[in-house]
Amino acid sequence: MDSVTYEEFSAHFTSFQREALHLEMRDSYGTAIEIPHLRKWEAGEPDDTDWLQPWFDLVRTGTRAGKVFRRARIVSEPISDYQKWVLTDTHLFVEAGEDTRWVPRSRVSTVALPGNDFWLFDDEVVIFLIFAASGLVVDRYSTTDRVAIELCRTSFEEVWKLSIPTSEYRPT
């Protein structure tokens, strides 16, 4: 596997042809761009979603071109404060064209999962996201290894079968 820069990783979102799959398995993240917005939410302060508009625009453009974006979030229940915050705006991701679903961790006990969150693009390349304990991304590893791709495809589809659409998800 090769370490890739943020720019190399980001390029996949416009270059893939058919489908981008994202599996999230952490209860909390702390990406640099999210931290100030999460802090506002925690303090009960109003926040806007302007910082998310580039992603929404990318998804809208992609879906208009026939591309598919699917995200599955495996979460512990009761959900973390981070996931409560994410859930408040997930409908905006769905409205932009991303099919985002939730999976209580208790449902995936018998699913073989890779060790890290990932994005799988067109069943051709998988990029694993490596996080520090704080939730910050510390690296991204890219591979075209067929075994890794098959593991990610299979695990994603098994999780997807157990998932709950955002509009129906009611966390405990």
Q: Give the 3-state DSSP-derived string for the chain, with helices as H, strands as E and coil as C.
A: CEECCHHHHHHHHHHCCCEEEEEECCCCCCCCCCHHHHHHHHCCCCCCCHHHHHHHHHHHHHHHCCCEEEEEEEECCCCCHHHHHHHHHHHHHHHHCEEEEEEEHHHHCCCCCCCCEEEEECCCEEEEEEECCCCCEEEEEEECCHHHHHHHHHHHHHHHHCCEECCCCCCC
Contact between residue 121 and residue 131 where contact means Cβ atoms under 8 Å apart: no
C-alpha to C-alpha distance for 48 and 22, rounded to whole angstroms:
24
pLDDT greater than 90 at residue 9: yes
Quote the tokens at residue 88.
């408040």
In this structure, the number of other CB atoms found within 10 A of the CB of residue 149 comes to: 19
pLDDT greater than 90 at residue 109: yes
pLDDT tens, residue by residue, 65-76: 999 999 999 999
How large is the average pLDDT for residues 113-119? 98
Confidence of residue 131 (pLDDT cuts 50, 70, 90): very high
**Per-residue CA distances from 116 to 45, 47, 135 (Å):** 32, 30, 12
Quote the tokens at residue 154.
């299979």
pLDDT greater than 90 at residue 110: yes
The predicted model scores a pTM of: 0.95
What confidence score (pLDDT) does residue 48 get? Answer: 87
Query: Which of 10-24 are b and which e, b meaning 16 or more Cβ less than 10 Å from the residue's Cβ?
Result: eebbeebeeebbbbb
Share of the chain above pLDDT 90, in %: 91
pLDDT tens, residue by residue, 12-67: 999 999 999 999 999 999 877 898 999 999 999 988 899 999 999 999 999 999 99
